[in-house]
């Protein structure tokens, strides 16, 4: 099958002929229906739903930031149902142990009286894992997620156990100023493709929520995809072409937010203690492709870069003490640099 390119200049991806174009055309309405189906249950969170779907289509993990009661658990359960994935939940608490997440070996005895160790998988062995209130657990327990998120496997008793495919972690985090919370290590924060803030719904959405959730029956979303079709969509996302203009915009934006880079402004050098690494640029590149496919397009645009810059980059930038004391925010810095570059 002949290769077909869809951008001028060097392309970061290649659609392999008419079959891929037809598959993208077939997926576009299905993905719109997925977004609509989740939005009919999780009300007033369209932006959050889009960014969660971008994360999943990109093959990544997301960190959901927000106060309790905004529907984070409902979002994960609804998304798993609509996408046809097996969902599990881990409730993080201060006394949670790493083996409570990954699983443990137990001494088992068969009918003949023979004893042997058997691995009992933990709740991490799901396709869509809700890590609820992840910053309530100790750093030791938080780090148990790191290998699983990075390598899609866990090690127990010297043996590797492969996690299901697809595998995605949607973690929720309470505001860090609340008591009894532990900041996530920088290495683990970098493993989350997007950090997604949740806000309270507007009045109309909250009114609809009251009417929909306090009756005698509860609405159920349909199942529109399955694991196999989702994996095929993730593969297609990585084949979408990215034009030189988009690649240069991603590079310029991420490099401009590093204080040691010559292209950084004086504002960035004064405020930022460490900037986004190469993994941030990789994540932004893949996420823009996923958003393009989600919106029925065969290639990302600058609008995709602007829309995803904050959720992809904000948790990968550290502010100095002086900047924090002066009220400088990472989001404001990203917006300012994006306007300058893009």
Residue 3 has pLDDT above 60, yes or no: no
| Domain CATH number, residue 22 | 3.40.50.300
State the Cα–Cα distance between residues 308 and 287, nearest whole angstrom. 7
149 in the same domain as 166: yes
Task: Please indicate, yes or no, if residue 332 is contained in any of the structural domains.
Answer: yes
Contact 140, 185 (CB under 8 A): no
205 in the same domain as 121: yes
Overall domain count for the chain: 2
262 in the same domain as 189: no
Task: Please indicate, yes or no, if residue 295 is contained in any of the structural domains.
Answer: yes
C-alpha count within 13 angstroms, C-beta hemisphere, residue 221: 25
**320 falls in which pLDDT band (50, 70, 90)?**
very high
Name every residue whose Cβ is closer than 8 Å to that of residue 214 and which is 6 or more positions away in sequence. Answer: none
Task: Please indicate, yes or no, if residue 8 is contained in any of the structural domains.
Answer: no
277 in the same domain as 193: no
Contact 4, 17 (CB under 8 A): yes
Task: Please indicate, yes or no, if residue 336 is contained in any of the structural domains.
Answer: yes
Greater confidence (10 vs 227) lies with 227
- Nearest residue to 132 (alpha-carbon basis) of 83, 179, 96: 96
Greater confidence (290 vs 67) lies with 290
Task: Please indicate, yes or no, if residue 10 is contained in any of the structural domains.
Answer: no
Task: Please indicate, yes or no, if residue 133 is contained in any of the structural domains.
Answer: yes
Final residue of a structural domain among 223, 238, 253: 238
DSSP reduced 3-state for 274: strand
Compute the average pLDDT of residues 34-40.
95
Task: Please indicate, yes or no, if residue 294 is contained in any of the structural domains.
Answer: yes
Compute the average pLDDT of residues 276-294.
96
197 in the same domain as 280: no
213 in the same domain as 295: no
Q: What is the pLDDT of residues 132-159, one digit of tens each?
A: 989 888 888 888 887 788 889 998 878 8
232 in the same domain as 117: yes
Residue 274 has pLDDT above 90, yes or no: yes
Question: Residue written as tokens 């030791």?
Answer: 140
Task: Please indicate, yes or no, if residue 160 is contained in any of the structural domains.
Answer: yes
DSSP string, 102-144: HEEEEEEE-TTS-EEEEEEE-TT-SSEEEEETGGGS-HHHHTH
Say which DSSP state 20 is in: H
- C-alpha distance from residue 329 to each of 157, 271, 314, 323, 332 (Å): 44, 9, 9, 8, 5
52 in the same domain as 141: yes
Strands (E), the chain: 62-65, 87-91, 103-109, 115-121, 128-132, 153-156, 159-162, 168-173, 194-197, 272-274, 318-319
249 in the same domain as 214: no
256 in the same domain as 230: no
Question: Residue written as tokens 């739903």?
Answer: 49
Main-chain phi, psi angles of 138, to 5 degrees = -70, 160
Contact 127, 227 (CB under 8 A): yes
164 in the same domain as 109: yes
326 in the same domain as 185: no
Q: What is the pLDDT of residues 86-122, one digit of tens each?
A: 999 999 999 999 999 999 888 887 778 788 888 889 9
Other beta carbons less than 10 A from residue 32's beta carbon: 13
Final residue of a structural domain among 188, 215, 238: 238
Q: Please give the pLDDT value at position 72.
A: 85
**230 falls in which pLDDT band (50, 70, 90)?**
very high
Compute the average pLDDT of residues 267-280.
94
> How much of the chain exceeds pLDDT 70, in percent?
93
**232 falls in which pLDDT band (50, 70, 90)?**
very high
| Domain CATH number, residue 283 | 1.10.8.80
Question: Which range of residues forms the domain containing residue 248?
Answer: 242-342
pTM: 0.89
Final residue of a structural domain among 238, 257, 288: 238
Q: Please give the pLDDT value at position 187.
A: 74
Q: Please give the pLDDT value at position 247.
A: 96
């Amino acid at each position: 099958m002949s290769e077909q390119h869809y951008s001028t200049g060097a392309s970061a991806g290649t659609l392999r002929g008419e079959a891929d174009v037809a598959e993208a055309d077939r997926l576009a309405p299905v993905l719109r229906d997925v977004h609509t189906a989740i939005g009919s249950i999780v009300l007033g969170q369209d932006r959050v739903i889009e960014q969660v779907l971008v994360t999943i289509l990109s093959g990544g993990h997301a960190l959901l930031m927000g106060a309790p009661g905004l529907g984070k658990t409902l979002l994960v359960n609804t998304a798993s149902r609509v996408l046809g994935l097996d969902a599990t939940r881990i409730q993080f608490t201060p006394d949670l142990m790493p083996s409570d997440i990954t699983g443990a070996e137990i001494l088992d005895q068969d009918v003949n009286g023979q004893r042997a160790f058997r691995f009992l998988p933990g709740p991490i062995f799901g396709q869509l894992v809700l890590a609820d209130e992840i910053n309530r657990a100790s750093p030791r327990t938080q780090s148990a997620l790191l290998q699983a998120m990075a390598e899609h496997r866990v090690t127990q008793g010297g043996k590797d156990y492969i996690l299901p495919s697809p595998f995605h972690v949607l973690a929720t985090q309470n505001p860090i100023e609340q008591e009894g919370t532990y900041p996530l290590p920088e290495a683990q924060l970098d493993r989350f493709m997007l950090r997604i803030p949740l806000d309270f719904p507007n009045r109309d959405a909250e009114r609809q929520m009251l009417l929909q959730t306090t009756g005698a029956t509860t609405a159920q979303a349909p199942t529109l995809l399955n694991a196999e079709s989702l994996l095929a969509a993730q593969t297609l996302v990585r084949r979408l072409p990215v034009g030189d203009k988009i690649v240069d915009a991603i590079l310029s934006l991420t490099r401009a937010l590093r204080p040691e880079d010559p292209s950084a402004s004086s504002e960035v050098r004064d405020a930022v203690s460490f900037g986004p690494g190469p993994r941030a640029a990789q994540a932004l590149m893949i996420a823009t492709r996923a958003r393009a496919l989600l919106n029925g397009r065969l290639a990302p645009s600058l609008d995709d870069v602007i829309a995803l810059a904050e959720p992809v980059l904000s948790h990968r930038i550290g502010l100095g003490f002086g900047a924090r004391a002066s009220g400088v925010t990472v989001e404001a810095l990203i917006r300012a640099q994006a306007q300058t570059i893009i």
